[in-house]
Chains A and B, each alone.
Chain A
């Protein structure tokens, strides 16, 4: 008898199947590329799914202009090395209005520079399917979402009325203006992601590895001063600490953790013994239990 697939092989095959299904049935798909580790895995799987061809869709990065500089450098390097078609979208209205996480708070900043920006980009290019790297183990409302998640013409998610999703038979039909968000990593856990990165040697942004970095303690989080736009408040001090990041986003909203894990093995080792979830380092999820669902209903990924 032939050996059954391992856990990771099953997850990999499922993701590849999903990529191909979208490429075969939608007229204008796009992959949301957020530069983090999940995006790195997603990109790796997309390359595999269509090998020896390149993925038959562009990659879209919604740049809030507050991402870590190392993320942007990594993004541009990957686009060049892997040869994918990269679209960078910035909400110019938000730039004009000077929207930033320090003065406007995480909610307003995220809504305008991320959610609204994403809707602008999807509308501008007329994308009818968008891949995202969300996983069901990340958060309660994500645990409820379909792999092929329907969005109406104003990009809204209706969690109370999702299409049934039977077997691997995906309903990929949408009317004009409607779209589908597709999550190939739905059934992956954080451990699976790291395990796969290790197994496949997938490049990730160096910020995931521990290094001495200039950080400030603010609201119980370690915020890295990534550029001059971050002004210190009274009593705050910059200190150089060995830190790394479990997730990446806008630098003023992303907390670092004290760590000496400088290799993939060490990161996984640290993760295996962690007692808090990865989203704990994200300011935007903290407000209240339903905050992710609210953002998603408005079109956030």
Chain B
């Protein structure tokens, strides 16, 4: 690569002038996407080569690699320039997104080369999330494929407004205009629904360079721009500057008692020293006292700038909150509708608890309703109970605490979030908020005069939820029953929620799929919570096979009120006892989704009480529970003298 010839450098007024000119160039971030083997990596290799970004030593390595792994005979295989992972070169495919950098005399570019295989869609989404434009490649011989549609819909969901429809390998169809026109028409037929601002079709050959940076002589019928010409002139999105001021607080900088700075990146709009702002979550007004930077205070901070803001008042602001324009405030809500792209092999299950992360905030969240799944072929809305890997859907989400946001269509920075799995910490989904749900705005908590404490005191007891989990036939119901009898005999007010019984009423609409099991537990946990609120001692006896849902139940209750009891009976023993004859049928395949047989049971990691039942009677188990309670109350009595259970 040579950025510039030595002579040109002398001709201009030295290095500083050259760099000053560089600095004025705008930056365009784009991605290449489309189906496997449509030539994405080859196109980027061609762009880098044509704009002379390849050094001699890199070219030498490329020639060596082309001989070893190349798929283009004696020619240089440009794809090997971007397929940087060993596995990619060996298999001749792109697995993960690669970022490449090049510049023309007019503009600087960061390009994300994204994989075409369906199984790596999440890596395509990664590349698309920070791009302003997508080059959608189509193999002229193949036309529009399923992945062309999927990538277009994901690009649209992620807020990309400019598309280049690159009809590649046009040389292999004899530069035929009819083929090109046909593909353009096919694409237009479905893309008009996707809300793109521009769709510019260009016929090209990445391998030979036709219409990439060099106008092709083989296609006199095409009079549009070359790819590079178009990339140099397409307007860069500066909409964030025009939007209302948003400043998500990232970090509170407190070097000494006199300095309390809110550090963050301006998400949109601008703020000046002296401006009035509002703390989004509390609505507290304040004024900007200083905008601090190392090189001296600023008068103004605009979208994209990372600054530290000092307010004139001691107002309560912490990470996750937002400083915003007083006259155009964002929404603050705990329920909203969102588009969701799912990234995990583990399906999205409504009711399961995930961690929702915005740019600086974090909250427990559940999908309360999956409204529909989008079929990527015809964009039809399909009813669904879960979202599988790479599927796209629309859902309602509820967070445990309100978050601050704008609709994604209005603000790409403050309208986005990711979902994280609680157990594995994997990023399992990406969401784009559509709107808040009126419910959250209008239904406020009704404050009641008779409280939980008053109800419990009248019964002379402390509310609790005993959550029995274990395999079918492990003895949960038997032990629960004995425990309730014992409580009852000592004048305690109790209630048992039994799995089988609840399925006859409240949950009779639910089956045994993973999605239904999650909902089953969610409902029971909510009922248990209400009963504990009424002052009762609740005994829940449910298989409740998944850790995630037991955690949801635990988090519903105040600290110490949820007592997880693991009724630990080995599978073989349960199957031998088989009190309802279910194991025999499940093992014969007559019952599907049976826990322990063809549906997993995840044992608790830290239950409050662990009952190993093998060789011991139910009475001994209740005795063990009783001992545990006694120990706990003794420990607690040191702090408070309230009535024990």
Contacts and interface: CB of A to CB of B under 8 A. Distances in A.
Nearest to A171: B427
Interface in B508-525: none
Contacts of A24: 250-251, 319, 360
A5 interface: yes
Contacts of A6: 23-24
A191 B416 CA distance: 32
B3 interface: yes
Nearest to B7: A273
Contacts of A21: 250-251, 360
A163 interface: yes
B123 A164 contact: yes
Interface in B384-430: 412-413, 416-418, 420, 425-427, 430
A276 B56 contact: yes
Interface string B194-213: 00000000000000000000
Most interface-central of B14, B108, B250, B303 (chain A CB within 10 A): B250
A8 B294 CA distance: 16
A9 interface: yes
B124 to A, nearest CB: 10
Interface residues of A, number: 73
A275 B55 contact: yes
Interface string A66-100: 00000000000000000000000000000000000
Nearest to A51: B294
Interface string A106-138: 000000000000000000000000000000110
Contacts of A186: 99
Interface string B301-321: 011111010000000000100
Contact of B4 (A4, A9, A273): A273
Given A13-B306, A144-B98, A289-B65, A277 B58 contact: yes
Interface in A156-191: 159-160, 162-169, 171, 173-175, 186-187, 189, 191
Nearest to A277: B55
B15 interface: yes
Contacts of A8: 23
A204 to B, nearest CB: 16
B299 to A, nearest CB: 12
A143 interface: yes
A140 B96 contact: no
B639 interface: no
Contacts of B416: 166-167, 169
Nearest to A268: B15
B253 A50 contact: yes
A139 B84 CA distance: 8
B412 A168 contact: no
A9 B516 CA distance: 50
Interface string A275-301: 111011000000001100110000000
B302 A144 contact: no
A141 B88 CA distance: 10
A49 interface: yes
Contacts of A294: 86
Contacts of B106: none
B242 interface: yes
B81 A140 contact: yes
A164 B430 contact: yes
Contacts of B27: 7, 10
Contact of A289 (B61, B236, B264, B270): B61
A2 B302 contact: yes
B281 interface: no
Given A143-B100, A144-B85, A4 B319 contact: no
A159 B99 contact: no
Interface string B330-365: 000000000000010000000000010111100000
A52 to B, nearest CB: 6
A13 B305 contact: yes
A167 B412 contact: yes
Contacts of A4: 26, 236, 238, 241, 302-304
B1 interface: yes
A104 B86 CA distance: 26
B414 to A, nearest CB: 10
A140 B302 CA distance: 34
Nearest to B425: A173
B19 A160 contact: no
Q: Is the interface of B mostly helix, strand, loop or mixed?
A: mixed
Interface stretch (B125-133, B144-152, B549-557, B558-566): B125-133
Given A7-B25, A144-B85, A273-B6, A136 B99 contact: yes
B16 interface: yes
Nearest to B255: A53
A254 to B, nearest CB: 15
Interface in B8-33: 9, 14-16, 18-19, 22-27
Interface in B278-332: 292-294, 300, 302-306, 308, 319
Interface string B89-121: 100000111111100000010100000000000
Interface in A244-271: 265-266, 268-269, 271
Nearest to B100: A143
Contact of A164 (B126, B265, B293): B126
Contact of B265 (A13, A169, A268, A276): A13
Contact of B304 (A13, A166, A174, A189): A13
B192 interface: no
Contacts of A173: 355, 420, 425
A141 B84 contact: yes
Most interface-central of A10, A139, A186 (chain B CB within 10 A): A10
Contacts of A14: 306
B306 A20 contact: yes
B57 A277 contact: yes
A180 B264 CA distance: 21
Interface in B239-281: 241-242, 250-251, 253-255, 259, 263-265, 270
B32 to A, nearest CB: 14
Contacts of B64: 289
Contacts of B40: none
A1 interface: yes
B580 interface: no
A162 to B, nearest CB: 6
A221 interface: no
B5 interface: yes
A166 B343 CA distance: 11
A72 to B, nearest CB: 27
A272 B9 contact: yes
Given A47-B294, A168-B359, A169-B417, 13 more contacts: A5-B302, A7-B108, A10-B27, A136-B100, A144-B98, A159-B95, A164-B126, A171-B418, A269-B6, A272-B4, A274-B55, A276-B56, A277-B55
Interface of B: 1-6, 9, 14-16, 18-19, 22-27, 55-58, 61, 64-65, 81-87, 89, 95-101, 108, 110, 122-123, 125-126, 129-130, 236, 238, 241-242, 250-251, 253-255, 259, 263-265, 270, 292-294, 300, 302-306, 308, 319, 343, 355, 357-360, 412-413, 416-418, 420, 425-427, 430
| Pairs of residues from A and B, 7 with the lowest C-beta to C-beta distance, nearest first | A140-B84, A53-B255, A16-B306, A277-B55, A51-B294, A173-B425, A13-B306
